[in-house]
Amino acid sequence: MKIFYSDTHHHHYPSFEVFDGGKRVPYLENPNRIDQILGALQKTNWAELTPPADFGLDPIYAVHDRGYIAFLESAWREWLALDPEVAAAPNEHAFLPATFALRRTPRVPGALLGKAGYYMMDLSACIVAGTYEAILASANCALSAAEFITRHSSSFILHAKRSSFALCRPPGHHAGKDYAGGYCFINNSSVAANWLASKGKVAILDIDYHAGNGTQDIFYERSDVLTISLHGDPDFEYPHFIGYADETGAGDGLGFHKNFPMPKGTGDEEYLHALDEALNMIKNFAPNYLVMPTGMDTFKGDPLGTFNVTREGFGEIGKRIAALGLPTVIIMEGGYANEALGKNVVTLLENFK
């Protein structure tokens, strides 16, 4: 199985983040997550690690606002120039705003901190010196995985489950058209899905614990991409303001988006029941390609989740999705129980190799 990976992700490693209530904690979305997955993959006899190609910015601009991408590219340099204290000890700081836009007007402020509050949804999307380089590499991993399955489409008759895995970091599904949030800056899955949409119909099945709000934002009015998200109910869980069951698309996209919000304590049986309904929707849509934003934070005991999905559950989830027989791009999102993360990922991926 082709695994697209870049060690550039190590360049994005903020020294802290800010939790609810203002608590400052070590950055939970850290490089050790990917190191754990790599370690588990390297113990298999089927994982083929491959560096991503550089697709340039055009596939990213096709999904994200150009002003937003320009902000991500320049924010750290501008912050260093504005604050001598940060410039003197850059490794001890991360760029974050203190004021956030309510989006009641479309005006983008000219000041750096004003732009930050406009383009950032929360305090988890910390920007440091290597962030921009890391997010571009992450997007290129997703695009390379997408390009791989199209290049090998002629082999699908013999290998119905031919798939690829983009080991992306930072993750992406919380990033909207013009905002970062939830550790996400570029929506890797949406960039890959939009690229694939020029070649055929695409379904996105998001199995991360948190609602894929950014993906919903990007495709909400489109009918060529079916978007589905299984997640913790936003009534109690991040991102709170999006991901409800009555959000089903708008305009041309009406009926082409589906949220499955689920309660605390959801285990294997309940999760698989919702998954089966989602899979039936995908079968009826009859896509040419499947993009699968994949988080392991549904795992029992994950520090950012409240579900009780087991490792055996991940195996069954992978088995049922792979049974669709679709060319599938699996894209890494969340999962923060680091000691179990690698084995959980391998357990799911084994169904697609």
In order of their start, the domains of the chain are: 2-10+28-58+133-349 (3.40.800.20)
Looking at residue 158, what is its pLDDT? 45
Cis peptide preceding 31, ω within 30 of 0: no
Residue 308 has pLDDT above 70, yes or no: yes
Residue 245 has pLDDT above 70, yes or no: yes
Looking at residue 105, what is its pLDDT? 77
Looking at residue 11, what is its pLDDT? 97
Looking at residue 159, what is its pLDDT? 47
The single residue of 9, 93, 174, 231 carrying the catalytic annotation is: 174
Residue 97 has pLDDT above 60, yes or no: yes
Among the ranges given (54-68, 94-108, 173-187, 271-285), the one the predictor scored with the smallest mean pLDDT: 94-108
Better-scored residue on pLDDT, 1 or 161: 1
Render 213-277 in DSSP notation, one character per residue.
HHHHHHHTT-SSEEEEEEEE-TTTSTT-SS--TT----GGGTTSEEEEEE-TT-BHHHHHHHHHH
Residue 73 has pLDDT above 50, yes or no: yes
Looking at residue 160, what is its pLDDT? 46
Q: Which helix (H) or strand (E) holds 284?
A: helix 268-285
Residue 106 has pLDDT above 80, yes or no: no
Mean of pLDDT values over 223-238: 98
Looking at residue 77, what is its pLDDT? 96
Q: pLDDT above 90 covers what percent of the chain?
A: 90
The whole-angstrom separation of Cα 23 and Cα 327 is: 43
Among the ranges given (81-95, 151-165, 243-257), the one the predictor scored with the smallest mean pLDDT: 151-165
Mean of pLDDT values over 297-315: 98
Mean of pLDDT values over 271-275: 98
Better-scored residue on pLDDT, 36 or 106: 36
Mean of pLDDT values over 149-160: 62
Looking at residue 153, what is its pLDDT? 62
Looking at residue 319, what is its pLDDT? 98
The whole-angstrom separation of Cα 33 and Cα 45 is: 21
Looking at residue 161, what is its pLDDT? 53
The model's confidence at residue 353, banded by pLDDT at 50, 70 and 90, is confident
- Whether 203 and 156 have beta carbons less than 8 Å apart is answered as no
Report the Cα 123 to chain-centroid distance in Å.
Answer: 17
Looking at residue 156, what is its pLDDT? 46
Looking at residue 157, what is its pLDDT? 47
Residue 269 has pLDDT above 70, yes or no: yes
Average pLDDT, the chain: 95
* Residue 309 neighbours by CB distance under 10 Å: 25
Residue 33 CB contacts under 8 Å (≥ 6 apart), including other chains: 169, 335, 336, 338, 341
β-bridge partners, 164: 2, 329
Looking at residue 154, what is its pLDDT? 54
174 is catalytic: yes
pTM over 0.75: yes
Mean of pLDDT values over 50-67: 98
